[in-house]
Structure 1
Amino acid sequence: MPRRYLQASKMRDKNEKNQVDIFKSVKSEAITELTPEILETSLDLITESEVLKDIPIFGIGFKGYSLYQKITESFFTKKLLKFLFELKDIELTHREKFINELESRKETNKAGEKLLITLNRLNDDEKATFIGRLFKKTIIGKLEYNDFIRLTHIIDNAYIEDLKLLENNYHLGRIDDDVKSNLHQIGLIKQSISDIKREKQMQIRIGGKGEDIQPKLIYSINEIGSKFIEFGFN
């Protein structure tokens, strides 16, 4: 075998061996023995550690990854269960029919995969409850699928406490302007500028001079926001 091919073969074998070692390190039982103290130990002492003798040195860096993965998997499971819980009262045949029809449409190809990705990305498990309620309304025909997708995107980008303030709150009462601005940015409410001429007339009508009236931002719920309030809380 020519020398260059022999070297290439050895390099591939070395890369494959290193790859297997890294994966074994990530999945190793020995990772559970790692402690913050070990991670803070200098490299020369780490290589002498009895706890780590069977773990490749690069495996140490994956201790945090292994813990992170366990946490995120647990968090994802909780979000998935909260989403599915909202659908449990829908008859199985109804759910199956809806999903079959959904998957048969070209424009909603891989809809389930996209939904799972969104659920996995959510930063609060209560958002999964909102999405579950909205999906339930979509299955039973009260909410259009396109509106569901749009609301899912909005929920993903929202601050959960801002969303909670909208419950039965079509007139946006008891919500300060900073929160209203946030809700406007994600697409749940609309923004307009006050009518100065009208406000002057109203002030004069009640005995004022109609002076020093400055324009201000006016917020009101929009169509998609109304659907969120109607279907997202029950």
Structure 2
Amino acid sequence: MEKGINLAGETLEASVAKDKLYEIIGGLADSTLEKILDVGDAVPIFSYIAKGLKATIAVRDAVFLEKVIAFLSEIGKVPTSARQKMIEKIQQDTQYRQKFGKFSLLYLDRLNDEFKAGYLGRAAQYLSRGEITYDFYQRFAHIMDNLTETDLLELTEKTFLNFGRNTFHSFESLGLMTITLKIPTEAERKSASKMNPHIVQVSHRRLTDWGQWTKNILLDRPVHATDL
């Protein structure tokens, strides 16, 4: 099992390092399974997946392919040389037990849709350009796995409104935000939205560095940009 996962990770790395990757992947998002698999050796991860498929493909396999395409479509926007140097640098760093390909593949399997997979591919762009560390890339993958689509949308809002308690706690537990909460008065409870009777008032809220970097990656802007 471990050997197979390692091999799959290596084929993903080989795919990320392919020349003209974006041109190869760009038109596949809405393609049929047959067309995707016909790409074959041009993208090693597709060839690897095809060998393991049965005559009747499972829904899980089809969804996984969609996530791989979304991931490669994003990372493919970075020049080939930058992608290759990024992979080589991580491979040579002995502090990392899980290399880029294996780690990314395991998280692509865990993420629940192609949109999150695309965000992970975008984070790989930042990693290739040297704007984030591999440590934060791994942190970002964990964040994507633990936030809902609604959470991600709310995180990218320009200003933070009075979110429900659970949303704040999700951000805080992942290290994205520091908050101070004030228990609402009875009058505040009565005036709260009928959709969220347990709304809390926030006396102070601030994105941490991790939170700001995550937000910037989601919005595809310079990682160290700050909100005014």
TM-score by length of 1: 0.57
Q: Offset of 1:183 from its aligned partner?
A: 2.0
State the shift of 1:115 in Å.
1.4
1:130 Cα deviation after fit: 1.2
- 1:34-183 to structure 2, matched below 5 A, reads 70-111=58-99, 112-169=101-158, 171-173=159-161, 175-183=163-171
Distance (whole Å) between structure 1 residues aligned to residue 172 and residue 55 of structure 2: 37
Q: Residue 226 and residue 216 in structure 1: after superposition, are their counterparts in 2 closer, same or farther (change >3 A)?
A: closer
Question: 2:146 and 2:75 mapped to 1: Cα distance?
Answer: 23
Contact 2:71 / 2:120 at 8 angstroms: preserved in 1? Answer: yes
Question: Cα–Cα, structure 1 residues 136 and 216, in superposed 2: closer, same or farther, change >3 Å?
Answer: closer
- Give percent identity, aligned residues only: 22
Q: Secondary structure at the match of 1:76?
A: helix
For the 8 Å contact 2:85–2:128, the answer to whether it is kept is no
Quickly say closer, same or farther: Cα 1:216–1:133, change in 2 above 3 A.
closer
Larger Rg: 1
Note closer, same or farther for the CA distance 1:216–1:86 as it changes in structure 2 (3 Å cut). Answer: closer
1:67 deviates by: 11
- Structure with the greater relative contact order (CA < 8 A, sep ≥ 6): 1 or 2? 2
Out of 212, 215, 219, the residue aligned to residue 229 of structure 1 is: 215
TM-score (structure 2 length as normaliser): 0.58
1:184 maps to 2:172: yes
Superposed displacement of residue 229, structure 1 = 0.9
The count of corresponding residues between Structure 1 and Structure 2 is 148
Structure 1 pair 86/118, CA: closer, same or farther in 2 (3 Å)?
A: same
DSSP 3-state at the match of 1:165 = helix
Report the RMSD for the aligned CA atoms in angstroms: 2.5
Structure 1: runs of 5+ lacking an equivalent: 1-65, 195-214
Q: For residues 203 and 110 of structure 2, what CA distance do their matches in structure 1 show? A: 33
> Unpaired runs of 5+ in structure 2?
1-53, 183-200, 221-228
Q: 1:116 is aligned with what amino acid?
A: L
Q: Deviations over 1:145-167 (max 9, x none)?
A: 21111111111111121112222
